Amino acid sequence: MIYLTGYHGHKPQDLRTLALNLEAVVVDIRLSPVSKMAEWNKVSLMNTLAARYMVVQEFGNVNYKNGGEIRIKNPTEGANRLMRRGAKNYILLCGCRDAETCHRTVVGDFLRTVSIQAIREVTAEEWAAATPAPEPVVEVTQREWLREVQGEFPVVEQVTTEVNPRPARKKKVVQHD
């Protein structure tokens, strides 16, 4: 199976979980695997994904900077590299949120002509399954919390009185010249 996705709006840790869930190797198909967001740089992704990461610049769009028509650098060599790697599943990764305007769709269309593998976008559900739910914010007053902890026992306010408080020490001033 070959999945396609864009990391926009996601976290590298969640991408790692996604790769584990889908039993896939993440294939970075950016022509230049760098980002303004450091966590999406090649070196950072190598650390996060370890053996589940490979860079295939042959699947990069040579016109990604000049805004010209999408042209894939060397799709045949890219496909060969996937074959040589011999993984069961792949996630082809770009940064773009929208698949329609991203070169990964062009790469996917090319792979359909040379591979019998099923090829599709990662679904929102698959991403959600890889993303931890945010911690619910529960406001509990201290008294409610104590009641919960102590059950039926009454809350007794403790009053501590300090006996013989130590006199405050004079601060030593050390001068560094």
The residues of the shown chain that bind Zn ion, judged by CB under 5 A, are 94, 96, 102
Which of residues 31 and 146 has its CB atom nearest to Zn ion in the complex?
31
Which of residues 69 and 152 has its CB atom nearest to Zn ion in the complex?
69
Minimum CB distance to Zn ion, residue 92 (Å)? 10
Which of residues 35 and 74 has its CB atom nearest to Zn ion in the complex?
35
Minimum CB distance to Zn ion, residue 103 (Å)? 5
173 near 165, Cβ under 8 Å?
Answer: no
